[in-house]
């Protein structure tokens, strides 16, 4: 496992190094990269590297990889739109990123069913929190006025009979 991760990271470093060397040797080939607007892609790249390491090494790296890539994606969108105030509710997506990572880790590992169940639960919680906080802080269209309906629906879902676990005898 360690050898595969080293090969992947080493190959990526070589490719990135060659890209920068070519740009230094032939400046006319350099594209106009506004690093002030594109810096979150560095964070996304770190997350993608962790996910790739999960594919070829330790499946548990998919969880932090998904979180880091997801946060990088949020930062990228916020940086382009300058909607930094959206952090008031967009942070609720982070448990969903962890859920995606758990599902990926389960698919790459051996705990598929448990990882799927736990990951999808985190995705649901993240989505509901995003709707509630987004409606409260941003309005989210017509939902802003009716966000208590989401709370009522979540409460009803929690009371469903299939959700109650049977106690062992």
What's the whole-number mean pLDDT along residues 112-125? 88
For tokens 């190094």, name the residue.
17
| Helix locations, the chain, DSSP H | 2-25, 35-38, 40-56, 62-81, 87-90, 94-108, 112-138, 147-159
Mean pLDDT of all residues belonging to the chain: 80
pLDDT confidence of residue 8: 65
* Residues whose CB is less than 8 angstroms from the CB of residue 41 and which lie 6 or more positions away in sequence, other chains included: 72, 76
The pLDDT-based confidence of 163 (bands split at 50, 70, 90) is low
What's the whole-number mean pLDDT along residues 38-42? 84
To the question of pTM greater than 0.85 for the whole model, the response is no
For tokens 């990228």, name the residue.
76
The pLDDT-based confidence of 152 (bands split at 50, 70, 90) is confident
pLDDT confidence of residue 93: 95
3-state helix, strand, coil in the chain (%, to 5): 85, 0, 15
Using CA atoms of 81, 85, 88, 91 in order, give the dihedral in degrees to the nearest 10.
Answer: 30
Q: Does residue 140 register a pLDDT over 90?
A: no
Whether the CA torsion 36, 37, 38, 44 is positive or negative: it is positive
Give the C-alpha separation, 169 to 162, whole Å: 18
Q: Does residue 66 register a pLDDT over 60?
A: yes
The share of the chain scoring above pLDDT 90, in percent, equals: 24
Residue spans of the domains in the chain: they are: 33-162
pLDDT tens by residue, 81-100: 888 888 988 999 999 999 99
For tokens 């509630």, name the residue.
132
pLDDT confidence of residue 137: 79
């Amino acid at each position: 496992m360690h050898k595969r991760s080293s090969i992947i990271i080493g190959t990526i470093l070589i490719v990135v190094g060659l890209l920068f060397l070519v740009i230094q040797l032939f400046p006319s080939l350099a594209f106009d990269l506004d690093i002030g607007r594109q810096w979150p892609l560095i964070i996304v790249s770190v997350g993608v590297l962790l996910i790739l390491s999960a594919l070829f090494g330790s499946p548990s790296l998919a969880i932090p990889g998904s979180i880091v890539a997801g946060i990088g994606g949020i930062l990228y969108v916020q940086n382009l739109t300058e909607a930094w105030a959206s952090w008031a509710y967009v942070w609720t997506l982070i448990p969903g990123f962890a859920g995606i990572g758990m599902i990926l880790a389960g698919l790459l590992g051996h705990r598929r069913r448990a990882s799927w169940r736990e990951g999808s639960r985190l995705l649901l919680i993240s989505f509901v929190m995003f709707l509630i906080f987004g409606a409260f802080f941003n309005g989210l269209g017509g939902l802003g006025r009716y966000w208590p309906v989401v709370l009522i629906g979540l409460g009803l879902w929690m009371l469903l009979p299939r959700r109650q676990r049977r106690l062992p005898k």
